[in-house]
Amino acid sequence: DKGGHKYFMAKEMAEQPSAIGDTLAEYLREGAQGVVLPSEIDFSTVTRITMVACGTAYFACLTAKYWFEQLARLPVEVDIASEFRYREPPMPDGSLAIFVSQSGETADTLAALRYVAAQGVRIASVVNVPESSIARESDVVLPTRAGVEIGVASTKAFTCQLTVLAALAVKAATDRATLSPEALAETLAALRAVPGVVNQALLVTSDIAGVAAEIAKAQDVLFLGRGAMFPLALEGALKLKEISYIHAEGYASGELKHGPIALIDPNVPVVVFAPMDRLFDKTVSNMQEVMARGGKVLLVSDAEGLERASDGVWKWIKMPKVPPVFAPIAYAVPAQLLAYHTAVAKGTDVDQPRNLAKSVTVE
């Protein structure tokens, strides 16, 4: 049942505030001070985190790396499962391994988990299906409560994965006392605000369908972001590729001049995720390098960012003002909507894109 929506993907995007709220309720228990996990992980004894996943779940891990490092000062290694499993990396004492998978059945992720388990490392998994193989073979199961996701392109499962990982980073920061009491309180408040902020992001009145109708004419699209917006640039590009079949690539803004800037011309739209944060000016200067070479920029930012930097941009999407720390969860929404409306404009099969399967149980 698509609940009145044209596609499951539209329904699932719209469900995000409640799915994230349900997910968060598992970790922010009534009466508890901070984040409470279903089974305890004491991060003060952890010296390193290894995160492994595939596809969109891998981008959730890449985002979480920024959070674990910044909030909890923990070294984090992130890898795609198909590479990790055959590289057979050493796992030092004090490692915690985190596997992220919507289905909990992805063959490469499960094989990577079994490799790590054989090394005697503690395993936590972020899964949407609690009865799945990955959940069953983990020491700690950290559920997402996204509900069933039918659209092949992951949307609500992704933002719920990010939410669990954000909660986990807050737990790690608490255990390791890496934040001042004020900073910890502020970070917890930002975590609590996520469902509301995602709801506001869904309500933005910018004409995303209109922008998407223009994007639909492109053959190539670039996505740029800096800091935790970099993994979101990768995710935005993947989403667009998957459902609209337009070639898209995500880059770290600062990496542009090391090669991809050669691609800039008026036929290659460049989507820039730039919330008003401490890296804003850096991202904007990369964006101006694009415009100086005739590139057309779609700037995704908040009112303040647009006021400061929208001169000369091709199009913009106005986001609500969000607490910077967990901004990738909110900015996932315009990334998804852009891909969705582009696919609708092109008339592709949004829920069942060609060549793709919802659960990849073969390697």
Mind telling me the catalytic residues? Answer: 358
Give the separation between CA 341 and CA 173, rounded to whole angstroms: 38
Q: What part of residues 236-265 is at the interface with ligand F6R (CB under 6 A)? A: 238, 242
Residue 18 or 359 having the CB closest to ligand F6R: 359
Give DSSP secondary structure letters for 174-211.
Answer: HHHT-S-HHHHHHHHHHHHTHHHHHHHHHT--S-HHHH
Residue with tokens 């600062």: 254
Q: How far is the CB of 91 from ligand F6R (least distance, A)?
A: 21
Which stretch, 18-26, 52-60, 66-74, 247-255, contacts ligand F6R (CB under 6 A)?
52-60
Applying CB under 6 A, the site for ligand F6R has a residue count of 15
Cβ nearer to ligand F6R, comparing 175 with 351: 351
For residue 37, give the 3-state DSSP assignment. Answer: coil
Token readout for 35 is 């984040």
Give least dist CB 314 to ligand F6R, A.
Answer: 26
109 binds ligand F6R (CB under 6 A): yes
Contact 314, 296 (CB under 8 A): yes
Is there a contact between 301 and 319 (Cβ–Cβ < 8 Å)? yes
Question: Is residue 286 at the binding interface for ligand F6R, with CB under 6 A as the rule?
Answer: no
Q: Give yes or no for residue 106 binding ligand F6R (CB under 6 A).
A: yes
Q: How far is CA 107 from the centre of its chain?
A: 21
Where in the chain does DSSP place strands (E)? 48-53, 76-80, 95-101, 122-127, 140-143, 220-225, 247-252, 270-273, 297-302, 315-319
- Give yes or no for residue 16 binding ligand F6R (CB under 6 A): no
CB-nearer residue toward ligand F6R: 304 or 349: 349
Of the pair 50, 106, the CB lying nearest ligand F6R is at: 106
Tell whether residue 57 is a contact of ligand F6R (CB under 6 A): yes
Part of the chain binding ligand F6R (CB under 6 A), chosen from 1-9, 96-104, 164-172, 333-341: 96-104
Nearest residue (CB) to ligand F6R, 301 versus 342: 342
- 223: nearest Cα among 210, 202, 240, 209: 240
Stretch that binds ligand F6R, among 55-63, 203-211, 293-301, 326-334 (CB under 6 A): 55-63
Q: Footprint of ligand F6R on residues 123-162 (CB under 6 A)?
A: 153-154
**Least distance CB 59 / ligand F6R (angstroms):** 8
| Given 16, 95, 103, 199, the residue binding ligand F6R (CB under 6 A) | 103
Tally of CA atoms within 13 A in the half-sphere of 326 that contains its CB:
28
Integer-rounded Cα Rg, in Å, for the chain is 20
Q: Using an 8 Å Cβ cutoff, are 222 and 241 in contact?
A: no
Rounded distance between C-alpha atoms, residue 345 and residue 211, angstroms: 10
Pick the closest to residue 49 from 113, 124, 155 (CA basis): 124
Report the residue number, 71 or 248, with the smaller CB distance to ligand F6R.
Answer: 248
One-letter amino acid of 64: A
Helix locations, 26-80, DSSP H: 55-72
Q: Which residues contact 347 (CB under 8 A, 6 or more apart)?
A: none
String of contacts with ligand F6R for each residue 342-361, x by CB under 6 A:
-----------------xx-
Beta-carbon contacts of 357 under 8 Å, excluding residues fewer than 6 positions away, are 152
Site for ligand F6R in 201-240 (CB under 6 A): 238
- Minimum distance between the CB of residue 327 and ligand F6R, rounded to whole angstroms? 20
Minimum CB–partner distance for residue 299 and ligand F6R (Å): 24
CB of 294 to ligand F6R, least distance (A): 32
Considering the complex, state which of residue 112 and residue 211 has its C-beta at the smaller distance from ligand F6R: 112
* Distance of closest approach, residue 154 Cβ to ligand F6R, in angstroms: 3
Instruction: List residues near ligand F6R by CB under 6 A.
Output: 54-57, 101-103, 106, 109, 153-154, 238, 242, 359-360
